Amino acid sequence: MTKKRIAHRILLATLALSFYSADTVAIQRSRQDGDRCQRKIDAIAKNAAAIPVAAKKTPLSENEVNSYLVYNATDKIPRGLTDPEILIVGNGGLSGRLLLDIDEFKRQRTSPGPLDPFAYISGKVPVTARGVLRTRAGRAQFYLESAEILGLPLPKPFIQELVTFFSRTRENPNGFDIDQPFNLPAKIQEVVINRAQAIIVQ
């Protein structure tokens, strides 16, 4: 797997988590932090491609991650998603926010039922949620605690539909399943979630 593809998988994993790890937060962003995060992601991908993979810990600050999403990854974010923010709470907890173009989503969706909450909204709307990420031995599991759209509770089946739709790739046409463990990309063995910082362990 090429370094470019590994870096892209790291981005997709981050975006998928931001769907079910979101809240309104005040994030400091800068191009310098974004470039620093890009260099760290490139180094993670380079290490993953090495034989053997070196044992390595890479800290990513909350500001670096969010700056990367704004300054370095806009062309890689799926169409219909804007302004993703991730708050690294600590002890596995993640929280954040993104804006969803509900019309883009509905254009490619099958006909909804009368109780579908997406049927009655349009435009760009905030989707927020929070939960806990647990990782071990190259595997991860996210435990969703709550989710909202426009400040109203969003049932789990609908957040799953959104995650599936926007996390689909050619390699993974079914997208992320929020109830299932998943493999960490780039030979990552563990992600330690501290306050305002995630440590990537290879």
With beta carbons less than 8 A apart as the criterion, state whether 201 and 47 touch: no
- Output 40 or 78, whichever has higher pLDDT: 40
Confidence at 24, pLDDT banded by 50, 70, 90: very low
pLDDT at 111 > cutoff 90: no
In what helix (H) or strand (E) does residue 176 lie, and over which residues does it extend? Answer: none
Q: What is the mean pLDDT of residues 25-32?
A: 80
pLDDT reading at 167 higher than 90: no
How far apart, in whole angstroms, are the C-alpha atoms of residue 163 and residue 165? Answer: 6
Q: Kindly give, in sequence order, each residue whose CB lies less than 8 Å from that of residue 111, ignoring residues fewer than 6 positions away.
A: none
- Least confident among 31-35, 99-103, 121-125, 167-171: 167-171
**CA gap 68, 37 in Å, rounded:** 6
Which residues, including other chains, have CB under 8 Å from residue 54's CB and lie 6 or more apart? 47, 202
Q: What's the Cα-to-Cα distance from 89 to each of 23, 70, 109, 198, rounded to whole Å?
A: 11, 20, 34, 10
Listed in sequence order, the residues at least 6 apart from 84 whose beta carbon sits closer than 8 Å to its beta carbon are 14, 15, 18, 22, 66, 69, 77, 96, 97, 98
Please name the residue that has the structure tokens 């300054």. 71
- This prediction has a pTM of 0.83
